[in-house]
Amino acid sequence: MSRATSAGGKPPLYKIVMLGDSGVGKTSLVARLTNPERPLNHDISATMGIEFDTQMLDTEHGKVKAQIWDTAGQERFARVLLPTYFRKAKGVILVYDITNAKSFESLSERWMAQLNDHASSDDLAKLLVGNKSDLEASREVTKEKAEQFCQEYGMDMLETSAKSGQNVLQAFEKLIGIVHNRALAANKNKAGIQGMSSGGGGAAPSTVKLEDGKKGDAAGTDACGC
């Protein structure tokens, strides 16, 4: 049995938040992940409230469930909702549009500050995603610039296209893999400490807390605490 599964075999559930300016493609990336065959919708309306979807993903330590919160990029919605977005989140995907320099600048000017204000940034696994890689001819943000950002804030990056599907699954799997590894390591430490305090004879099992999340509802909230 994988260390990532419980006696009941249910995968753990983690809350992941999508952040970034309006129009960078957050909703489109989630739609591509959950419905890989559906063509990109260009008439998609701006996200106004809280939307989330759950998706089973593979990691090197077995399957896990991601509860992906698609946030509103527009300032007037985001400001009010940010505390709810970040509550108990384990990972964040910071999205910019490679054809829009402003959306990249917003990451350091706006979104990283919001992150630090509303969440314990060190507790969150982060991934930088440059979306719309299919629009290479209109590129405004070089990979070098993005890599500098990653070095500064300590995270990895991928360029994706919600239109072609390039790197979309890989991006979500990369982040959830980091989140899951952290949870397993924290659990192992906890088990070690408990084992020491009970004289070393009864270490707690090194499993993460599990829940059976369902698409589109709030089931599984104990596991990710959201």
Identify the residue among 131, 167, 187, 207 touching ligand GTP (CB under 6 A). 131
CA 187/CA 181 separation, integer angstroms: 10
* Token pair belonging to 207: 């499993």
Does 167 engage in binding with ligand GTP (CB under 6 A)?
A: no
CA 163/CA 225 separation, integer angstroms: 32
CA 90/CA 120 separation, integer angstroms: 10
Identify the residue among 8, 42, 144, 205 touching ligand GTP (CB under 6 A). 42
Does 28 engage in binding with ligand GTP (CB under 6 A)?
A: yes
Beta strands, E only, the chain: 13-19, 51-59, 62-70, 91-97, 125-131, 156-159
Q: Which is nearer to ligand GTP, 27 or 55 (CB)?
A: 27
Does 44 engage in binding with ligand GTP (CB under 6 A)?
A: yes
**Which one-letter DSSP state was computed for residue 10?**
P
Does 186 engage in binding with ligand GTP (CB under 6 A)?
A: no
Residues that contact ligand GTP, how many (by CB under 6 A) = 24
**Contact between residue 78 and residue 71 where contact means Cβ atoms under 8 Å apart:** yes
Q: Give least dist CB 143 to ligand GTP, A.
A: 16
Identify the residue among 64, 68, 72, 146 touching ligand GTP (CB under 6 A). 72
Which residues of the shown chain bind ligand GTP in the complex (CB under 6 A)?
20, 22-28, 40-42, 44, 46-47, 72-74, 131-132, 134-135, 161-163
